[in-house]
A and B are shown apart, each in its own frame.
Chain A
Amino acid sequence: MNLLEDLYKDIILRHYKSPHNYGPLESANVRVVGDNPSCGDQIELQVETDGEQIADVRFRGQGCAISQASASLMTDLVKGKTWAEALELERKFKSMILDGAPPAPELGDLAALSGVHKLAARVKCATLAWNALEQAAQEARTKAQGT
């Protein structure tokens, strides 16, 4: 089955079974939870940030291979980036998933998720962690303004 191999590439299953940046982050000052109530998938994102840069990020969650691998790959990619850079990556990722745009080179291994575009029912799995990231960005901004 071509589509199956196309969707569940080895790298996706590796990140699903052994996610990177998984677990609590003691130094986190921004915490958000994103969920898909219709399927029960959940991602908790914990970020240490000065309001400008993502110093460290970890996640916890439960869900399918696509949602968990997307979160794992995303945290690898945005760690050390500024929020502006992270949100630009989010835009490129969503353009690949939602519009079927060819994967931008900056997305690196996340290109492995490009097959999700063909499966309307699974788009929300791939974007779950990224929606949480956007929420975290807003919270980081609010916090920075408040201090």
Chain B
Amino acid sequence: MAIVTPQTLRQDFPLLVHHPELVYLNSAATSQKPQAVIEAVSRYYRELNASVHRGAYTLSAQASEAYEQARRTLARFIGAEEREIIFVRNTTEALNLVAYAWGLRNLQPGDEILLTEMEHHANLVPWHLVCERTGARIKAIPLGDDGRLELEHLGTLLTERVRLVSVMHVSNVLGTVNPVAQIAQAARAVGALVLVDGAQSAPHMPVDVRALGADFYAFSGHKMLGPTGIGVLWGRYEVLETLAPFLGGGSMIREVYVDRSTYAQPPQRFEAGTPAVAEAVGLAAAVEYLERLGMANVWQHELELAAYALARLDEELPEVRTFGPRGQDRSGVIPFVLGSIHAHDVATALDQYGIAVRAGHHCAQPLHRKLGVAATVRASFYVYTTREDVDRFIEALKKVRDFFKDWL
């Protein structure tokens, strides 16, 4: 099992080989890419590139087949049907697609959308835009002090007026794994649709969209070893069929006249214009790479790294305050502050030791308001993160603490 020896696995990642001294701890923002993915994209351009779904020639048929094969691979990865996989640019676009194609057309004044206080801006701002135009209102499931959602409020929040519940599967800041299946079941009981932001779950854990009980599930390719510019919106086919198009153009039509048109069936209805074929092929290669490792192993690896890092931080760095739940419901994401030193200063200092971490509000300002801090430093792990990476991170953080010791 390759995942057991991430040191060897590092060799699959040209960027990590190119920067042997780099400790890359920002995979929650974007992951590095294995050679298999880089090669798949390169090979597509070298051997297969042609217009998809348009040419009568053999090469076009081969390119189309590669694109549709990628769709099948992605469907298999999350337990979906092929016709339910819509290729988009990223999670943000997937969430906007639902907001515009479903929200704008279906929401009315007085309707409610239920979100959570831990959401990423990508699952907040599209709903702000939709509510401005429809008169619908937003409510949020509160975030508790332990970094988990306060689900005891779910019963009161889930009124008959709630039309959609949109919730992140795993928090990009706290690592919290939300009990999405439980939330979805409660939402369906009042007739609400369920949208799951899977940006931080699809890359890290086994996901079966049917077991989640959701209607939509969105994720990005670049966070799961794939290229940028490609992501997926999954939707239950019966729901997708009822949706109007998001973007109009070529590929998504059935018949077009000068003054009107009719639309193709899903998923084509939602894929206007020439798609990101090479990126889709690259994402399929990333999925195959992850499947070889086994998603259960990937998750286990991250759980172990998170537990190890948290134990060392607790033990050896009392000046560090970490956030997020403690337990098996937490991914390999460690948000923290060092005394009263600002997160950006800590991140800049860590960078001097070759440790790449993110600092700031991580596109989650409401969550940081709730935590009572303006910004946090975030170390996040992935398949290629080794125990030695965590050790180097902790040792560097000790030096940073020593440097700032008079100012903590």
Which of A's residues lie within 8 Å of B, judged by CB? 1, 3-5, 7-8, 13, 16-17, 38-41, 62-66, 119, 121-122, 125
A-B contact pairs, 11 of them (CB 8 A): A1-B352, A1-B399, A1-B403, A3-B352, A5-B403, A8-B349, A63-B344, A63-B374, A65-B341, A66-B344, A119-B348
Do the beta carbons of B348 and A122 come within 8 Å of each other?
Answer: yes
Which of B's residues lie within 8 Å of A, judged by CB? 341-345, 348-349, 352-353, 359-361, 365, 368, 374-375, 399, 403-404, 406-407
Cβ contacts under 8 Å, A1 to chain B? 349, 352-353, 399, 403
CA distance A22 to B114 in the complex (A): 41
Do the beta carbons of B344 and A64 come within 8 Å of each other?
Answer: yes
Do the beta carbons of B375 and A39 come within 8 Å of each other?
Answer: yes
Do the beta carbons of B365 and A40 come within 8 Å of each other?
Answer: yes
Do the beta carbons of B407 and A16 come within 8 Å of each other?
Answer: yes
Q: Which of A4, A5, A17, A122 contacts B344 (CB 8 A)?
A: A122
Identify the interface centre among A7, A38, A62, A64: most chain B CB within 10 Å of its CB.
A64
Cβ contacts under 8 Å, B344 to chain A? 39, 41, 63-64, 66, 122, 125
Q: How far is the CB of B374 from chain A (nearest CB, A)?
A: 5
Do the beta carbons of A62 and B352 come within 8 Å of each other?
Answer: no
Cβ contacts under 8 Å, A8 to chain B? 345, 349, 403-404
Do the beta carbons of A64 and B365 come within 8 Å of each other?
Answer: no
Do the beta carbons of B374 and A62 come within 8 Å of each other?
Answer: yes
Cβ contacts under 8 Å, B341 to chain A? 65
Do the beta carbons of A65 and B345 come within 8 Å of each other?
Answer: yes
CA distance A125 to B344 in the complex (A): 10
Q: How far is the CB of B339 from chain A (nearest CB, A)?
A: 11
Do the beta carbons of A4 and B403 come within 8 Å of each other?
Answer: yes
Cβ contacts under 8 Å, A63 to chain B? 342, 344, 374
Cβ contacts under 8 Å, B342 to chain A? 63-65
